[in-house]
Amino acid sequence: MVVDHPERSRYELPLEREIAIAVYRDSGNVRAITHTEVPYALRGKGIGGQLVAGVLDDIRAKGMKVVPRCPFVARYIAEHPDYADLLS
C-alpha cells in the first residue's frame, strides 16, 4: 500500500526489505511528482506502476491535480488515460 509522508514530501511503497518512493512538491492544489525510484533488484516487476497508481489515486482522493515532472509518471499517465483528468 502506497503511503503519503507529507513531512518528507514523498510517497513510500514498502517492499520486502526496501521501499519504492515518489518525491513531490506542492503548490496550492497541484502536486508535482519530481522523482520516482524503485530498488534496482526489483525493477521490471511492475513495482513502479503500482507506486504511481497509488500516488495518482491519492492525489485524486485529495481533490488535487498533478504535474508529472518525472518521465516515468508522465509515461504512466499517457498509457493510462483514466488518470488524464488529473493533469494540471
Percent of the chain at pLDDT > 90 equals 98
Ordered domains of the chain (ranges, CATH)? 3-86 (3.40.630.30)
Element (H, E) at 32: strand 30-37
User: In this predicted model, what pLDDT tens digit does every residue of 72-81 receive, in sequence order?
Assistant: 999 999 999 9
Question: Can you give the pTM of this predicted structure?
Answer: 0.95
- The string of pLDDT tens digits covering residues 45-72 is 999 999 999 999 999 999 999 999 999 9
Mean pLDDT of 20-44: 97
In the prediction, which pLDDT does 16 show?
A: 85
**One-character DSSP codes across 30-84:** EEEEEEEE--GGGTTSSHHHHHHHHHHHHHHHTT-EEEE-SHHHHHHHHH-GGGG
